[in-house]
Each structure stands twice: as structure tokens, then as C-alpha cells.
Amino acid sequence: MNIFLLSSQVLFFGFGWLFFMRQLFKDYEVRQYVVQVVFSITFAFSCTMFELIIFEILGALETSSRYFHWKFNLYVILLVLIFVVPFYIGYYTVSNIRLLQRQKLLFACVVWFTFMYFFWKLGDPFPILSPKHGILSIEQLISRVGVIGVTLMALLSGFGAVNCPYTYMSYFLRNVTDSDILALERRLLQTMDMIVSKKKRIAMTRRQMYQRGEDQNKQTGFWGMIKSVTSSPTGSENLSLIQQEVDALEELSRQLFLETVELQATKVKHTSEWCSTLLLY
């Protein structure tokens, strides 16, 4: 059964290597073999731990064998996560600084010790320390890794819960075509023409009322005064109705304009997303 676990680890390592080369690292020209090896080792031992959980449920291996491989996988993953990965990140960061290239190993060690200080101080606010376990015991290390992992998972899940609907909501919206936008723009132009024609009618009616008022002012005498008092302007009621229609059409034109802008923005977003998807593939 140990041979089965070792062979499965080799298969997981090869799959992680191929996935890293074919999918994650295919668009990069700079090849870092240390990154490939570290990723493949982490992937292989993580899959092995998942495999051991399945064996624990099914009872496939002996208890002592499962316990040995479980502790061995935990030690390897903790060694990679706490010692190898932070040191290599610090070493790679220092190597890109020209002033520190002569003593980059020393400065990489300084960066790693700084990381270890903050990593260890992270457990002070939490009830992690226990006299039953040593300083470098597996309980002390995995508890701090668990605190960092839970915090990062909470941040990433919150970000994903907000970003995912915003990113993929456009796929559930209706497809906007050029004919839809043209039809809406045609309705907007027709509404604007109706507004202009009704405003012309209002202007013509007011002009006629003004001319009629001048003619009435020219009439003198008692009968002229009686006629001016008793007669009401014929176009006053029509003006109020036409003005109400103009107000309603102006509000409709605003709504049509906003809807046209929204449709155009949706179409541009669809086009950009399709272009980005094609570029990714």
C-alpha cells in the first residue's frame, strides 16, 4: 500500500507539473524551475492528503500507515509553506534590486527572519500557545497557518461574492443588437419632432392671441369695453392642454434617451467581454 501511495504522489506531481506548464505558465517567457518544483510538490502532497481523507472514510489502509503518511504530508507542506516559499520570495525580490545583488543571500535571510517574526507574533492574540506542545511542534505551526488561511479565505470569498455577479451578470441580460438601438433612437427622434411641432403650435397660438389683443385695444367706446370683458380668449384652454402634452413628451424623451445610453453601454460591455474571452482562448 505504501507503493500505491508513492505512485499516486508521483502521478499527482506529474499532473501538477503539466498543469503548471500548459495552463498557468504558458504565457510567460521566463522559466523558473524552482517555482515549478515547489508548485508540483505542494499540489502532489495536497492531493495525497485528500486521498488519505478518502481512505480514512473507506478504511482502505491500515491505521498506522494512514497516520504515518498523514503526519509526513503535514510536515512536508508546512516546510514548504513556512520555510521554502517565503525564503524564495524574499530571495527573488532581493535579486531584482541592483543595490542588494552582491549580498542577496544575506538580505534574503533578513527578509525571511522578518517574516518569521511576524508569523510567530500572529499567534499572540489567539489561544494557540500551550505548555503541552513545543515551540516548533506541528500544532504551533499549523494553528498559525490555519489563522492566516481562514482570514485569506474570508477575504477572497467576500471579494468573489461581490465581483462574480458584477462580472457575469451581463450573460443573463438580453442580447442587445443594432436594430434595437436604431428602433429606440427612431422613437426618440419622433418624440423630439412631436415636441418641436407642439411648441410651434404654442408659439403660433400666442402670436394670434397677441394680435387679437392689439385689435381689441384699438376698439373704443362702451360696446368695446363690454366685449373685452365678456369675451375670453379662444386659445387659452388649448394652450394649457398642449403644454401638458409637451411636458409629457419631454419626460418621455428623457426616458428614451437614458434607455438608449444604457443599451449602448450594454452592447459595448458585451463586445469587450467577448473580445477578452477570445483573447484568453
- CA nearest neighbour of 74 among 93, 48, 55, 96: 48
Tens of pLDDT, residue by residue over 34-47, are 888 888 898 999 89
As a whole number, the mean pLDDT across the chain is 79
Q: What is the dihedral of CA 37, 41, 43, 46, to 10 degrees?
A: -170
Residue 139: its pLDDT value, please?
A: 75
- CA nearest neighbour of 208 among 236, 185, 228, 230: 236
Tens of pLDDT, residue by residue over 160-211, are 888 887 777 666 666 777 888 888 889 989 999 999 998 888 888 888 877 7
Q: Is the pLDDT of residue 227 over 60?
A: no
User: For the residues 49-74, what does the mean pLDDT come to?
Assistant: 85
Q: Is the pLDDT of residue 258 over 60?
A: yes
Instruction: Quote the cell numbers at residue 172.
Output: 443573463
Query: Of 245 and 225, which is predicted with more confidence?
Result: 245
Q: Is the pLDDT of residue 83 over 60?
A: yes
Alpha carbon distances (Å) from 70 to 74, 136, 278? 6, 18, 43
**Do 108 and 87 form a contact (C-beta atoms < 8 A)?**
yes
Instruction: Quote the cell numbers at residue 28.
Output: 510567460
Residue 155: its pLDDT value, please?
A: 92
Alpha carbon distances (Å) from 185 to 181, 191, 197, 248, 267? 6, 10, 18, 18, 15
Quickly count helices (H) and strands (E) in the chain. Answer: 9, 0
Residue 35: its pLDDT value, please?
A: 83
Neighbour tally for 131: CB within 10 Å: 5
Residue 131: its pLDDT value, please?
A: 59
Neighbour tally for 148: CB within 10 Å: 12
Alpha carbon distances (Å) from 188 to 181, 200, 202, 218? 11, 19, 21, 46
Could you tell me the pLDDT band of residue 24, with boundaries at 50, 70 and 90? Answer: confident
Domain boundaries, the chain: 1-125, 174-209+235-279
Q: Is the pLDDT of residue 88 over 70?
A: yes
- Residue 223: helix, strand or coil by DSSP? helix
Q: Is the pLDDT of residue 156 over 80?
A: yes
- Percent of the chain having pLDDT more than 70? 78
User: For the residues 62-86, what does the mean pLDDT come to?
Assistant: 87
Residue 228: its pLDDT value, please?
A: 52
